[in-house]
Amino acid sequence: MDTDVIVVGAGPTGLTLANELGLAGVRALVLERLPERTGQSKALNLQPRTAEMLQMRGWLEPVLDRAVTAVPGGHFAGMPLDYSVFDTRFPYQVGIPQARVEEFLEDRLAAYGTPVLRGHELTGLAQDAGGVTATVTGPRGTHDLRAAYLVGADGGRSTVRKRLGVGFPGRDGRVSMVVADVVLADDEALPTTWRLPPVEPGRAGELFLVPLGEGVFRFLFGGPEQQGIDRDSPVTEDEIRAALRPAHGFRPRLREVRWASRFTDASRQAERYVNGRVLLAGDAAHIHFPAGGQGLNLGVQDAFNLGWKLAAQVKGAASEGLLETYHTERHPVGAAVLRNTRAQGVLLVPDDDVLALRGIMADVLATPEANRRIAGMISGLDIRYPMPDTPAHPLLGTRLPAPLPSGRGLLLADDRPVHPWRDRVDVSAPHEGESVLIRPDGYVCWAGTTNTPGLTDALTRWFGPAK
Ligand SMILES: Cc1cc2nc3c(=O)[nH]c(=O)nc-3n(C[C@H](O)[C@H](O)[C@H](O)COP(=O)(O)OP(=O)(O)OC[C@H]3O[C@@H](n4cnc5c(N)ncnc54)[C@H](O)[C@@H]3O)c2cc1C
């Protein structure tokens, strides 16, 4: 074997996963087609649950140092969501360009000696009972690499997914849009905060103009002119200039286009995330309209769900079926994001009937219950994994933000020794008088009192047989 795990793709998903594997002491390498970082960012935010997960590893502080702003609350198709109703240290989004998150994650891989092989593209893939063979084309030609497992975190057009032949049902894009980072001439009327413009008749296509600092603005648009254009055709400066229509009562003046690209509202999800020794994560497993700022967050959280399970599998310490729970837990979460982004896509059409619907939706979202429901979904804070055959408890399957810097599990209890799992589970004081077992990804997999049964079963199920 050349390594234990090959991670294909040095985007936010692959880099998070590589860090999780490194933390667990598993040998991994990352293949990245691009010869160097582009510095370009599609995503601009970390949702509260992603911030919590980085915090639990002790990785958030340096990320916050690179952030641009804190965005109060979230939004659903531009309608505000109040995150302050949640019990979280992060009732806001961290406004940070994706490239800065990637840079942080890639730099910290050095701590584990995990190589990121840039300019190396996965071009072929085969698996057998003993491992995976990846065909890699790089600066010195084409060669094979052998590993026990391979994870396709290679984005929406994933070669891994295509080579596997896994179904990717859903629908193609109906709407074509442009994302551009532009430098605009100074003007008092330019927005200074991250706000979506109102959806109004006659304002079709302008979705977003927000400051990223140093005169750079993120501009998202997609009017009638953009429809039907091939996704890979270059975005022209004239196209951007024409789209910078009088926003906020004036027409911004374009100085420079830093980068621009097209995207659509295509919505598809891989049928299987776990395919023998090959797994899919992030955009390789799901693509959708970027409404609400969820895609990067979904991918990073896929990686936090998968990393410790795959590490246990590689070490031969996993109970049967552990790896499969990556699919059973994360596929429904991805499906829910696809549903909500499709719904948001409809609500963003500036049509009179849709505006009527938006008015009603805005009224509904202003009620505490609806806000909690939708904000829970967009923020990632409402995720609750099924914990079969475990005594019921209100905390079961929910997140419990606790420091987990070791990447091991955590038993909050004082009187239930976990000696046979001591190498995999840390122990700390009880949680509000109760005993709680937390998985490495921060979700509760057993809770109760000293008399509640099932602790040994939960330890075995999630952390492997006793030693
Ligand atoms: C306009 C726009 C705005 C967005 N805004 C947000 C937002 O605000 N918030 C949010 O959460 N999400 C947002 N997203 C979504 C977010 O950018 C993606 O979900 C995220 O990039 C997915 O990360 P990933 O690591 O799974 O895939 P990617 O970021 O696509 O990374 C995949 C990597 O794999 C590499 N690769 C591909 N094929 C191969 C191969 N064969 N061999 C080796 N390497 C390969 C690629 O070069 C790339 O570096 C937005 C998306 C768009 C289009």
Q: What is the maximum span of the chain, computed from C-alpha positions, in angstroms? A: 70
Please tell me whether residue 48 adopts helix, strand or coil conformation.
helix
Best probe residue, ligand 1, of 7, 96, 98, 160 (max atoms within 8 Å of C-beta): 98
| Residue 450: band (very low, low, confident or very high) from pLDDT cuts 50, 70, 90 | confident
- Stretch 428-443: mean pLDDT, rounded? 95
Q: Which atom of ligand 1 is nearest to the CA of 281?
A: 26
Strands (E), 164-205: 170-171, 176-184
pLDDT at 203 over 60: no
Same fold, 3-44+97-169+268-344 and 387-467: no
Which of 42, 53, 221 for a ligand 1 pocket mutation test, highest count of atoms within 8 Å of Cβ? 42
CB of 121 within 6 A of ligand 1: the answer is yes
Contacts of 413 (CB under 8 A, 6+ apart): 427, 430, 435, 436, 450
Rounded to whole angstroms, the Cα distance separating 201 from 199 reads: 7
pLDDT at position 419 is 81
> For the ranges 110-124, 280-294, 441-455, which has the lowest average pLDDT?
441-455
Strands 409-412 and 278-280: unpaired
Angle at 8 between CA 332 and CA 112, to 5 degrees: 100
pLDDT value at position 246? 63
CA distances from 252 to 191, 226, 245, 314 (A): 10, 20, 8, 54
- DSSP 3-state assignment of 428? strand
- pLDDT at residue 416, rounded to an integer: 64
**Residue 50: pLDDT band with limits 50, 70, 90:** very high
Residue of 197 and 457 predicted with greater confidence = 457
Tens-digit pLDDT profile for residues 104-157 = 999 999 999 999 999 999 999 999 999 999 999 999 999 999 999 999 999 999
Residue ranges per structural domain of the chain: 3-44+97-169+268-344, 176-264, 387-467
Atom 41 of ligand 1, residue of closest alpha carbon? 122
Q: Is the predicted pLDDT of residue 417 greater than 80, yes or no?
A: no
Please give the pLDDT value at position 181: 96
Class of domain 387-467: alpha beta
Decide whether any atom of ligand 1 lies within 6 Å of the 44 Cβ. Answer: yes
Judge if the beta carbon of residue 117 lies within 6 A of ligand 1: no
User: What pLDDT was estimated at residue 125?
Assistant: 98
CA nearest ligand 1 atom 9, residue = 293
What is the DSSP code (8-state) at residue 325?
H
Strand order in the sheet with 409-412: 425-428, 409-412, 435-438, 444-448
CATH architecture of 176-264: 2-Layer Sandwich (3.30)
204 has pLDDT over 70 = no
Residue to probe by mutation, ligand 1, list 106, 296, 304, 378, most atoms within 8 Å of CB: 296
Rounded average pLDDT over 422-445 = 95
According to the per-residue pLDDT averaged within each range, which of 183-197, 322-336, 416-430 is highest? 322-336
Instruction: Determine the average pLDDT of the residues in 194-216.
Output: 76
CB–CB of 277/129 below 8 Å? Answer: no
Amino acid identity for residue 375 in this structure: A
Is residue 65's pLDDT more than 90? yes
Number of residues in the chain: 467
Inform me whether the pLDDT recorded for 415 exceeds 90.
no
Return the pLDDT at 209. Answer: 87
Measured CA to CA, the distance from residue 278 to residue 152 in angstroms comes to 7
- DSSP one-letter code for 201: T
Q: What is the pLDDT, as a whole number, of residue 316?
A: 96
Own/partner pairs, 208-212, CB within 8 angstroms, 24+ separation = 209/247, 209/248, 209/252, 210/44, 212/44, 212/68, 212/97, 212/181
* Token representation of residue 34: 């691009």
pLDDT at 29: 98
> Among all chains, which residue has been given the structure tokens 């022209």?
236
Kindly report the average pLDDT of the chain as a whole number: 94
At residue 349, the pLDDT reads 86
Structural contact between residues 22 and 28, judged by C-beta atoms closer than 8 angstroms: yes
Q: Report the CATH architecture of 3-44+97-169+268-344.
A: 3-Layer(bba) Sandwich (3.50)
Whether residue 197 has pLDDT greater than 90: no
The predicted structure's pLDDT at residue 192: 85
Those residues whose C-beta lies under 8 Å from the C-beta of residue 147, and which sit 6 or more positions away, are 1, 2, 3, 4, 5, 6, 131, 132, 134
- Report, as an integer, the average pLDDT of 279-307: 98
Measuring from atom 35 of ligand 1, which residue has the nearest CA?
9
